[in-house]
Structure 1
Amino acid sequence: MAHTYRRVYGADHEDPAPRPGRDYRELVGGPLDGLLLDVTGWDAEALRRGAALTTELAGIRGGRAVYEPRAGREGMWDWQGDCP
């Protein structure tokens, strides 16, 4: 069985792997597709809202990629588009 390597958004490039005991959401679609977002310590309201994450890969130079929770799938956040 092949091992799937996962990277965490914003993690150090030298050590990008998920850590035990942390809470992550998988980013689905858009420029950050497949990355994990560490949401450890986020309150319930922040988890309901999602996040606008900075990335140079967004459709808007220097912009943010917007991700929101997928209904019925707590661990997955879907790309909604890019914003400045």
Structure 2
Amino acid sequence: MEREREPRVYGSEPGEPAGLTVGHEYVELVGGPLDGQLLDVTGWTAADRAGGALLIADLGLYGPGGRADYAPDDDDVGGPFRWRGDTA
């Protein structure tokens, strides 16, 4: 039987508890180097969400200090952020 993983919030250290905060809103990061992590989008407007996020990803194509580009599907700003690629 597979054990369910505790979700990890982007920015926390591996092995730390998820650190979910009551009243905060999170989106799941899907694909790429941050797959399965949650991003705190509390207070983000629909326009902010539509723009997505460039997140530091040490395991991405550009190694430590590189960025992973995540954004929602075109018409689903309330859904998960999907990986679009890496940038320096």
TM over 0.5: yes
Select the residue among 41, 47, 56 that pairs with 1:45. Answer: 47
Shift in alpha-carbon separation, 1:43–1:21, aligned structure 2, 3 A:
same
What is the aligned partner in structure 1 of residue 20 from structure 2?
18
Q: Which contiguous aligned blocks of 4+ residues in structure 1 show a shift greater than 6 angstroms?
A: none
Structure 2 Cα separation of the partners of residues 3 and 60 of structure 1: 30
SS at match of 1:46: helix
- On the 8 A contact 2:71/2:82 being kept in 1, the answer is yes
Structure 1: 5+ residue stretches without partners? none
Distance change (3 Å), C-alpha of 1:20 and 1:75: farther
Number of residue equivalences: 83
* 1:78 corresponding residue in structure 2: 82
Shift of 1:19: 2.0
Cα offset, 1:71, TM superposition: 4.1
- CA offsets per residue over residues 4-32 of structure 1, 9 Å max, x none? 41110013554433222111010000000
Q: Which runs of 5+ in 2 are unaligned?
A: none
Q: RMSD value over aligned CA atoms?
A: 1.9
- TM-score normalized by the length of structure 2: 0.80
Does 62-71 or 4-13 show the bigger shift? 4-13
How far apart are 1:44 and its partner, in Å?
A: 2.1
Of 24-33 and 13-22, deviating more is: 13-22
